[in-house]
Amino acid sequence: MPDATTAQIPAHVPPELVRSFPLIIGEYTDEDPFKRLIPLVHEGPAIFYNTKVYPGHGPAWVLRRMDDLRSLYLDTEHYSTKDMAPFAALLGETWAMIPTELDPPEHGVFRTLVNPLFSPKKMEALESKVREAARRYIGKFQARGKCEFMSEFAFPFPVSVFLDLVDLPQERMENFLEWEFMLLHAPDVATLQKGARLVVDYLRGVIDERRLHPKDDFISFAVQAQMQGRKLTDDELVGFCFNLFIGGLDTVSTNMGLHFRHLAENQEHQKRLREDPSFIPTAMEELLRAFAAVTTFRTCIKETQLSGVTIKPGDRVAMCTTLACRDPEFYERPNEVLLDRAPAHLTFASGPHRCIGSHLARRELLIALQEFLSAIPTFQIEPGATIMTHLGGMVQPKTLPLVWKPETVPGCV
């Protein structure tokens, strides 16, 4: 499956390792990518080169093996997270997403500063608020017998929780999601640039407002924080807030959509979780493995070898959790969803850059499963519906129409 593009290939890249790759930002498919497209990639080399996988259709090496991805997460000698995404560069600005785009030792300093915001204890304290939000959105369509799951639940439920944490207006949710789409799903540089400008300009206004009128929220925390005896610079504040924005508006929604699609198409799994809700946390870990959705990037800063391939300074490397979590060299029956597998996985990454919001994400996903299965009877994909799935950056269903018999909903006649 050689790459058909005619883009110039660096001299150190063997021609036979230039390959096509389905998970490209801006590309969609009407088939479930986990059934054929992703297993097909695993028939190829452990590492290969694609010319349009980096945001804006730039080139990068792609890793497909769990062991390689794990080792690279820990390798700060040869790889940097700086310029993991092109947003600041597109605007001609100098901020970095904090702490995501920082390397040691700066990364550790900032991570120590913000870790308490996302501690398990802090997230546990949100339990009642998160559960109330889930019930509120489910209540809007419970008696109807159907919903468009992505727009009516997968996005508004976790995003509303995030907007509360940063104290941004709920009524701007559609604007925020539109900007997020421009950043994470649009294929062209112009749209990426426009989205980045809209977000940064908005966040700068919020930062200025919180300086004057601080509140009890994450942005006010950053404005008031002291790090090694000083306040954060303007660039650091923008980078921190931009990172919050990117992480808060898409990832949980993506996982939720993929998990509920699987349950809608696999009635026996849905039945098992209904019959034994105490099993949901175990099953959720397998769903997180099987439907890992995120690709991030590293930049090589020192020549090295990976799976026998030479990686040179300046090369981008795509860290595709979708591939690693379906690695047939690591998992038995990798393309089967075995709810009692209790797997190790990389859905939230690993090492020093492990997702800082993973405790909140797990809580939201768990509550979504518990509340939806409790309130909604057996559901399925609406007959005749075509599910379009975005492939790059995040593997995400565009829509997910679900149906059930409303007369079986408690209290409905």
> Which of left, alpha, beta for 8 (phi over 0: left; psi -120 to 50: alpha)?
beta
Whole-number pLDDT of residue 388: 97
6 inside domain: no
Place of tokens 């105490």: 278
Whole-number pLDDT of residue 410: 57
pLDDT per residue over 59-98, tens digit each? 999 999 999 999 999 999 999 998 888 899 999 999 999 9
CATH number at residue 117: 1.10.630.10
H helix and E strand count, the chain: 17, 15
Whole-number pLDDT of residue 411: 55
**Amino acid of residue 336:** E
On the 0-12 / 13-18 / 19+ scale of CB atoms within 10 A, 343 is middle
Dihedrals phi, psi of 358, to nearest 5 degrees: -65, -35
Structural domain containing residue 313: 15-408
Whole-number pLDDT of residue 354: 87
235 inside domain: yes
pTM over the 0.85 mark? yes
- In this structure, of 15-19, 144-148, 249-253, 325-329, the range with the lowest mean pLDDT score is 249-253
Q: Where are the beta strands (DSSP E) in 23-164?
A: 28-29, 47-54, 58-63, 79-80, 146-148
127 inside domain: yes
On the 0-12 / 13-18 / 19+ scale of CB atoms within 10 A, 380 is middle
9 inside domain: no
pLDDT per residue over 370-407, tens digit each? 999 999 999 999 999 999 999 988 999 999 999 999 86
Structural domains in the chain (count): 1
- Give the span between the Cα atoms of 349 and 185, in whole angstroms: 20
